[in-house]
Structure 1
Amino acid sequence: MARFGTVLVAITATVLAAPLPAAAHESTAHVWITTPDGTQRLADGGPVAFRKTGSSAPTVVVDPNRRFQTMAGFGASITDSSASVLYRLTPAARDDVMAPLFRNGLSYLRQPIGASDFTDGPAYTYDDVPAGQTDFALRRFSIGHDRAQILPLLRQARRLNPELRVMATPWSPPAWMKTNGSLVGGRLIDSPAVYRAYAAYLVKFVQAYRKEGVPIDTVTIQNEPQNRAPAGYPGMDLPSWQAAEVIERLGPMLRAAGERTKILGYDHNWSEHPNDAANTPPDSVADIDHYPQELLQTKAARWISGTAYHCYYGDPSAMTRLHSEFPSKDIYFTECSGSQSSDPANTFSDTLKWHARNLIIGNTRNWAKTVINWNLALDEANGPHNGGCGTCTGVVTVNNDGSVTRNAEFYTLGHLATFVKPGAVRVASTSFGTTGWNGRVMDVAFVNPDGSTVLVAHNENDNPQAFAVRYGGRTFEYTLPGGALATFVWRGHSNDRPIAPTGWTATASPEADAALAVDDDASTRWTTNAAQQPGQFLQADLGRVQGVRRVVFDTGADVGDFPRGYTITASADGKRWWTAKGSSTDQFTEADLRGRPVRYVRITLTAAAGSWWSVADVRAYR
């Protein structure tokens, strides 16, 4: 399934994998850039100098010592269709496609278990029997279909990138396990014998692939379980209670088989599509826009490592909400396809912009460990496929003349996969843009296992936009072209010790929306909505008494909304207050609290001014 575009535009030979230059060190960052008009495609923009002074441009603050999820990798799917079109190329031409994708690049693939909507031929599973027959002993199980094209490509990808991991997902169990006897639609038969057989089927797949040299890192048990009416391709309604029945058998079976494959739940959209919700059977109404939560509240949750998401409805914030409810469970993003725009000439630009803010930055800012596109390769007709999406596009297009077009997804993935290595950790960075497109700069930051820092930034404005990056007391400035996506890499360290804003609250005068100042989201803000007047204040409650070295009040992108005159006071108990030394450099107003025990920090205006006063982010440091 798909929305949002990619392009069929011939390009110059740009290699996805680009090594970090030796020149990148503590005095410079290095930048690579892709523009919506395609004139720059992961183009090397050279060094950008850090300086010790600040900037008047909206400044992103990177705090490398505040850490979030560990990244598992980035990639796509070598579907049956992808394998088919890649095998239309000569071996040398196929190698020329695979090498730049996987050598120091793509590091996580999602593989269909059997047929999907992108299959070059009839739908199949690994245990198909004539209608009316069953095979509970799985004697006819065979992955022979995959040995011709899919497995050789997976092994080649693993040779090119030894860090490559593979997850696997079925679109349908064998038809004999289902209520309608078909690979399209229906449900699993509600029978312990069928639940055991399906779990055993998945274990046999994991074992067979490992023997072929392709170990499976993670597995889900059903692609898009709430898509009950797939358009002519394999699919199945799998309510959360049936998923739990399968997983409670699959977990122990994998362990008994000595397999370390992790199980993920759900594998569907950020939010449930209204059409899917409207067709929910009575026995699974609790799953309506609540499927992952329902599944993680069952006994099967002990076998579930995390939850997998797709992009076709909702927005990435759903993943953060789930993480808040189940913080011990991982979040994976496992499918999104581009689609040809109504005007094909706009497809590259449309894809670059939507994928940049929703997949590349939106997903990773919302706890996803992976970003996985759909088809790795398709042909000029966006196929071959059986039913399903007719406008979906691949990371690359194999043209009828044997040439290969690298689509926008190639570059959006490249801005992550080339520079952010498996094992990298996402770290704190203020970000002004949103997935809904507000015209600001949106970003996400990582620290690699080798200690290098990576910032991926997207300009949501159609016009060029200057911004700055602050890291460990140093700042660099850069102007991003309209709609451009850029990756910055540098080495260095920061001695800052940020305090996570967990449980923080705020009060203010004017009092509306004070919580937006302490919501850990610089794209929102508390503001006076009026000219500055003496007595206006914002008070942050840090939740508990703790030693605090400094507090920063950040205006965010509205850099003109800084206080023209102020006092800062602090208190441990809200009764006895003392005055802190303050300093201001437009966007940032800082309080020096000298490490004293503090719970409350208040900034109060002492001067009138025509400008509003806004606070987008409050940060505290030990």
Structure 2
Amino acid sequence: MPCASRSALLTLASSNFAKSQLQLILYRRGRIDVDSTASYQEIVGFGAAFTDSATINFYKLPKEAQDFVIDAYFGPDGIGYTIGRIPMGSCDFSVEQYNYDDVPGDYSMEHFDNNIEYDQKQRVPMIKEALKRQPNLKLFMSPWSPPAWMKYPTKDKDGVYRQSMIESSYPQGLLDDPRVKHAWALYFSKFISAYKALGVDMWGVTIQNEPENPGPWEACVYNASSTGAFLRDHLGPVLREDHPELQIMAYDHNKDHMVAWTQILMHDPATAKYLDGMAFHWYYGGMDRGLDGSYGWGNVEEAGALLLPHGKFMLSSESCHCPFVDHTLDGSWARAEHLAHDVLADLEAGAGGWVDWNIFLDYDGGPNHAGNLCDVPIYANEDHSGAVVGPMYHFMGHVSRFVPPGSRRIASHARGAYGAGTLGSRASGVLRGFEASLAPCDGSVRQRWALLPDGRVQLVDQLTEYFQYWKPVCLGSAPDVWTRVVTIVACDEPTAGVFSRADSGALRLDADAVNAALADAALLPLENSSAEQCLALLEPGARSGRGAGVTLGGCGRGAQRFDVGSADAKGGAPFTAADARGQCLTAGWPWFTASAFETPRGDTVVVVLNEAEEPVEFDIVFQPQGRALAAAIPAHSIQTYVL
């Protein structure tokens, strides 16, 4: 059964637009191949975090509205959340700073607040409301900072070094003292025991939220080696002794360094035996929030190759759109599409679930003591008399409601079909930092390129006609250092690649031209730029139609050869991979994507997402049965099929 959740207003707008564009695609059909004989990771669930900000806003609501919020997430008619994250102590989404043992030198944790009085005020009651609806709720906790007395001092605004929960020294935040490290491990155990005494059991724990982030809120920096040593020598032994059922997850930070951390933690068997999984976030880093959830899926897949064969899992443990709550229909819908894409891409890369950040916030996206307000699927109206359900809630529900814990991802491959006249839009706009990929050829403007006379490879995106501030973008001249994928840059930047077509059909980087541009801009030259380099396919990267990463490699047999199609009126043409049938050079990811799952009761679930301005007609072909289903999805829509 298809299930599409859209607001009435947007349904009308999409339907009208679809009618005007339908003649462009009558001769084209997309296709989704689903193969239930190829089964992958188990799904552990979906959910969000019970932050202090969430509970404060929740208990400002009248009781009827409180019940509505809890039912919407956890009730039988809700979207099926089965995971909850709990900050251990204060975090940025708190209104005050606190911990559970502020007595310096209390290495045995004799003064630990075993009653966790702060949490009993609102957090525990809200969690118990969720447990009434979802008794199998998996709860995991994450620390932002130890008590100040356990940390190295940092410089405050007056230039004085003080111990503080806010910010962290670098490269290590936790004091290098075995007594402190053991006390911090005991702190974890006592927190878990305190919740258990109140009838709230923990399923898991992450070792540190964002261990590479030194602030500007509660923080504690680790590197992979110090995390491994703390897990091996202190936290692992304590938790296995006191709470052997607990799932221990490491990292809990962005996708860029996920592979390196996984390699280090898995290398030492004495550490790896305590590690059950790796958690990760969707943030890009820095302050360009438009890139969040737009990169790094190849890193997740590569980390999964080190973890999944050993019975370990991966969990997307925090994601959210910032800044503020977007109350506009167009903006909130775009954010919902982006959220859904990241959920599906993470699952395709091997993640076992996806956990949103705050479960509930106020009308502005707070409160937050650091001022970084964020969006949320359900938020309070301005006077807290009720709750507002946004599009992100419905898009999330297309996955979380129909893919319960215990489901398994099965093989799927999606190819869209768009007309050559697709107009630029918020969906087609490509930002600097997007990854270049090879994805199924679909006729979209994300796959139409022009090799300019000066050698730059420009994406022909009509969006620049309508928004003058949106600069034309080109292929970059070097892979990202951590993802190893060539990124998209502004065409007028020195880092824009200068390419030529080799006789073999490969795109060859003119390193001398790039170095000259970098020198003119007073930037460092490329490393190893004297070696001839061509565009090549990065492995692994055969995810379900989401695009395999494109990197730079040798110009020999490993280089990717391209056939260039006929140019359109804008001068753009598809660059089709000559030795990878039906794959085209793509800016970012394709608009039409899908993921498939088999549930514990034997249903096949197919989630389909279309982020483009055009509708898509397509067939779902099921193997090994050989059945086929004809379907269509409107522009800017998500659908779920349960068969």
User: TM-score w.r.t. structure 1 length?
Assistant: 0.65
1:223-234 pair list within 5 angstroms: 223-228=209-214, 230-231=215-216, 233-234=217-218
1:255 to 240, 256, 259: 240
CA distance in 1, matches of 2:198, 2:12: 40
Aligned counterpart, 1:8: none
CA deviation profile, 1:454-478 (whole Å, cap 9, x unmatched): 1111013211111110112211122
Aligned counterpart, 2:179: 193
* Residue 450 (structure 2) pairs with residue 478 (structure 1): no
Q: 1:267, 1:310 within 8 Å by CA — same for their partners in 2?
A: yes
Q: Helix, strand or coil: the match of 1:140? A: coil
* Residue 352 (structure 2) pairs with residue 369 (structure 1): yes
Amino acid at match of 2:273: R
* Residue 230 (structure 2) pairs with residue 246 (structure 1): yes
Amino acid at match of 1:125: N
Aligned counterpart, 1:424: 407
1:57 to 29, 34, 46: 29
CA distance in 2, matches of 1:440, 1:35: 21
Q: Helix, strand or coil: the match of 2:238? A: helix
Aligned counterpart, 1:116: 91
Q: 1:127, 1:138 within 8 Å by CA — same for their partners in 2?
A: yes
CA distance in 2, matches of 1:414, 1:40: 21
CA distance in 1, matches of 2:589, 2:348: 17
**How many positions carry a matched residue from both structures?**
427
1:93-112 pair list within 5 angstroms: 93-104=65-76, 105-112=80-87
Q: 1:456, 1:486 within 8 Å by CA — same for their partners in 2?
A: yes
Aligned counterpart, 2:264: 294
CA distance in 2, matches of 1:467, 1:71: 27
- Superposition RMSD in Å: 2.3
1:66 to 1:37, Cα distance in 2 relative to 1, 3 A: farther
1:65-76 pair list within 5 angstroms: 65-76=37-48
CA distance in 2, matches of 1:429, 1:413: 20
Q: 2:2, 2:639 within 8 Å by CA — same for their partners in 1?
A: no
Q: 2:326, 2:332 within 8 Å by CA — same for their partners in 1?
A: no
CA deviation profile, 1:211-248 (whole Å, cap 9, x unmatched): 222211110111000012x12x1011111222122212
Question: Unaligned stretches of 5+ in structure 2?
Answer: 14-26, 154-162, 285-294, 416-544, 548-586
User: TM-score w.r.t. structure 2 length?
Assistant: 0.63
Q: Helix, strand or coil: the match of 1:304? A: coil
2:304 to 323, 337, 343: 323
CA distance in 1, matches of 2:266, 2:588: 32
CA deviation profile, 1:273-297 (whole Å, cap 9, x unmatched): xxxxxxxxxxxxxx9x722322222
1:459 to 610, 613, 617: 610
1:317 to 1:260, Cα distance in 2 relative to 1, 3 A: same
CA distance in 1, matches of 2:629, 2:620: 5
CA distance in 2, matches of 1:156, 1:342: 25
* Residue 140 (structure 2) pairs with residue 167 (structure 1): yes
The structural deviation recorded for 1:316 is 2.2
Aligned counterpart, 2:500: none
1:35 to 1:400, Cα distance in 2 relative to 1, 3 A: closer
Q: 1:36, 1:483 within 8 Å by CA — same for their partners in 2?
A: no
Q: 1:222, 1:267 within 8 Å by CA — same for their partners in 2?
A: yes
CA distance in 2, matches of 1:68, 1:438: 22
Identity of aligned residues (%): 30
* Residue 116 (structure 2) pairs with residue 135 (structure 1): no
* Residue 256 (structure 2) pairs with residue 271 (structure 1): yes
1:525-604 pair list within 5 angstroms: none
Q: 2:277, 2:315 within 8 Å by CA — same for their partners in 1?
A: yes
Q: 1:113, 1:170 within 8 Å by CA — same for their partners in 2?
A: yes
1:215 to 1:266, Cα distance in 2 relative to 1, 3 A: same
Question: Unaligned stretches of 5+ in structure 1?
Answer: 1-28, 42-54, 273-286, 491-622
Question: By percentage of residues, which structure has more helix?
Answer: 2
Q: Helix, strand or coil: the match of 1:426? A: strand
1:204 to 1:40, Cα distance in 2 relative to 1, 3 A: farther
Query: Greater CA deviation, 433-442 or 143-152?
Result: 433-442
The structural deviation recorded for 1:33 is 3.7
* Residue 412 (structure 2) pairs with residue 412 (structure 1): no
CA deviation profile, 1:92-132 (whole Å, cap 9, x unmatched): 2201111121014111111111111101x211122123xxx
Q: Helix, strand or coil: the match of 2:276? A: strand
Amino acid at match of 1:463: E
Aligned counterpart, 1:215: 201
Q: 1:437, 1:460 within 8 Å by CA — same for their partners in 2?
A: no
The structural deviation recorded for 1:30 is 3.6
Q: 1:336, 1:374 within 8 Å by CA — same for their partners in 2?
A: yes
CA distance in 2, matches of 1:444, 1:322: 20
CA distance in 2, matches of 1:210, 1:200: 15
* Residue 430 (structure 2) pairs with residue 447 (structure 1): no
CA deviation profile, 1:161-207 (whole Å, cap 9, x unmatched): 12211111000111111112210223100111111111111111111
CA distance in 2, matches of 1:101, 1:205: 26
Aligned counterpart, 1:533: none
Q: 2:41, 2:351 within 8 Å by CA — same for their partners in 1?
A: yes
1:190 to 1:388, Cα distance in 2 relative to 1, 3 A: farther
1:443 to 1:189, Cα distance in 2 relative to 1, 3 A: same
Amino acid at match of 2:31: T
CA distance in 2, matches of 1:37, 1:332: 35
CA distance in 1, matches of 2:594, 2:627: 18
Q: 2:209, 2:253 within 8 Å by CA — same for their partners in 1?
A: yes
Q: Helix, strand or coil: the match of 1:215? A: coil
1:610-621 pair list within 5 angstroms: none
1:380-419 pair list within 5 angstroms: 380-387=363-370, 389-390=372-373, 392-401=374-383, 402-419=385-402
The structural deviation recorded for 1:431 is 2.5
Q: Helix, strand or coil: the match of 1:190? A: coil
1:366 to 1:439, Cα distance in 2 relative to 1, 3 A: closer
Amino acid at match of 2:546: T
Q: 1:444, 1:455 within 8 Å by CA — same for their partners in 2?
A: yes
Aligned counterpart, 1:468: 619
Q: 1:78, 1:111 within 8 Å by CA — same for their partners in 2?
A: yes
Amino acid at match of 1:393: D
1:111 to 1:39, Cα distance in 2 relative to 1, 3 A: farther
Amino acid at match of 2:626: G
1:428 to 1:334, Cα distance in 2 relative to 1, 3 A: same
1:227 to 1:485, Cα distance in 2 relative to 1, 3 A: same
Q: Helix, strand or coil: the match of 1:236? A: coil
Q: Helix, strand or coil: the match of 1:89? A: coil
* Residue 277 (structure 2) pairs with residue 306 (structure 1): yes
1:204 to 185, 190, 204: 190
Q: 1:270, 1:309 within 8 Å by CA — same for their partners in 2?
A: yes
Q: 1:35, 1:485 within 8 Å by CA — same for their partners in 2?
A: no
Aligned counterpart, 1:612: none
